[in-house]
Amino acid sequence: MIQIHNLGLADSVFNRFVGELRDAAIQQDRWRFRRNLERIGELMAYEISKTLDYEPEDVTTPLGIKEIRTLKEQPVIATILRAGVPFHNGMLNMFDHADSAFVAAYRKYDKNEDFEIRVEYYSSPDLDGKVLILCDPMLATGESIVKTLRGLLEEMQPKHIHIAAVVASADGLEYVKSKLSREPVTIWVGSIDEELTAKAYIVPGIGDVGDLAYGEKR
């Protein structure tokens, strides 16, 4: 059974960063917008780190030796370009020896403004037997997450998959749960919003994260 951890349910500074991402006035500062995505990635990576495997290691100090517990193996961190890059960087700040994977996925609209999710590029290290963290700021319909994972898993099988999103829709979470029910998946979110528009945008949501972070597309 897929577990969902909603970090926004606990009182912490985490919610301030999510709130600033949503704030239309604060969004005008692109640097701050990207930095808040990065901060959320750092905090979410910390929470995910509590679920991983550790082993003892001796550290030599100037005055002696102290045993600490360190990660047995670094995870692989994957993101969907371009909106996920600051979020991904936050994860890398915590898992600073991790390998990375990148996926290009986007909405292809037709003349009627209907769309399909297209995935056109994968760059990934070996995932067999690894812990995979797939981070994407917005989980709207869930289709891009599912298509991305299916592409990554065609020839490789991680031992566990963590899906990380800042804001998710309730419908998108149900879609992901139904399509990935046989995979070893845990989902981490900062907030769950109940509404999707007819064009599949989350309400109240954040807006177009890629545009807010890097400028509007043509």
Domains of the chain: 3-214 (3.40.50.2020)
Mean of all residue pLDDT scores within the chain:
92
Global pTM? Answer: 0.92
Q: What are phi and psi of 206, to 5 degrees?
A: -130, -35
The answer to whether residues 96 and 74 touch, using CB atoms and an 8 Å cutoff, is no
Tokens read off for 105? 């996925």
User: What is the secondary structure of 13-82 as a DSSP string?
Assistant: THHHHHHHHH-TTGGG-HHHHHHHHHHHHHHHHHHHHTTS-EEEEEEEETTEEEEEEEESSPPEEEEEET
- Helix 143-152, helix 170-179: angle, nearest 10: 30
Sequential pLDDT tens for the chain (218 residues): 899 999 999 999 999 999 999 999 999 999 999 999 999 999 999 999 999 999 999 999 999 999 999 999 999 999 988 889 999 999 999 999 999 999 887 666 666 666 677 777 888 999 999 999 999 999 999 988 998 998 888 889 999 999 999 999 999 999 999 999 999 999 999 999 998 887 788 999 999 899 999 988 77
- Please report how the helices 85-94 and 30-49 are oriented relative to each other, as an axis angle in degrees rounded to 10: 40
pLDDT at 218: 73
**Burial state string for 62-94 with b = 16 or more CB within 10 A and e = fewer than 16:** eeeeeeeeebeeebbbbbbbbbbbbbbbbbbeb
pLDDT of residue 165: 97
Question: For residue 1, what pLDDT is reported?
Answer: 81
Reported as a single tens digit per residue, the pLDDT across 123-154 is 899 999 999 999 999 999 998 899 899 888 88
Q: Considering Cα of 144, then 7, then 89, then 35, what sign does the dihedral take? A: positive
